[in-house]
Structure 1
């Protein structure tokens, strides 16, 4: 949707499209599971598994609002620390809320563990991205500019390749 739009609205619509696509894919997977797997994960109630992505998205919105409150309460700190507090705090709240939702829905905790892995993975990717776009690697690339544009290109390419090791 927003791939060809070079502004914030285009980027937001692109991310929203991916988010909706992930939910629809989760619902489609739940709709096509084998009966044996439905018994293991949801006690035979396929509708619980199909509803869970929508319920988690709703809980996620509430946790995001809680994260905004955390950022505002930590606004006396440096901006990066306040944003990190909000992001990690919202994720912790989401993990606890997802556990409650999974337990209340009588769905296997195996599903909750996949939510935990995804949430923690998102935090790790965010922290790695933050480091590689604001930390020592940026200063290393800038320092390479003292010897000319070619070293900037080589150093930038090398640091860029290093930056994807942890997320991959």
Structure 2
């Protein structure tokens, strides 16, 4: 019996075979229409959802769904081997995810940007991310800018004035 080698090569005189690993899409092709769709989508801004789907603002839900179906078939990486098809497909899917949800679509239409991002809207990018915090009653800045001890914080949460609080009787 021949000895095994670390490389896995056969040592008893036979020729070794070239062991190529196919990634799955080397043999796949793409059409001109698929290539054009990928190039067009990838040129769009990541948050230009209407432009990505190739539809106008204010279109119906049926038109959004129809545009998504068409583009997702053209850009799906299992059907399109053109470079960048996977990124284009993700952009198309994200656009549909936002525009098919009435709440997210409303926020996108009002503020722009990605409605799921904390800093995605145009107004949020120019303002401080902390601008929405409550102000103190006197209007002197954030409500909680004074230092507070852990005991005081505990008492505020659990409503105890003394050590007894809600967990026990009053101390004597």
TM-score per shorter chain, which class? under 0.3
TM-score (norm. length: structure 2): 0.27
Structure in which a larger fraction of residues adopt helix = 1
- Computing the radius of gyration over CA atoms, which structure comes out larger, 1 or 2? 2
TM-score (normalizing by structure 1):
0.28
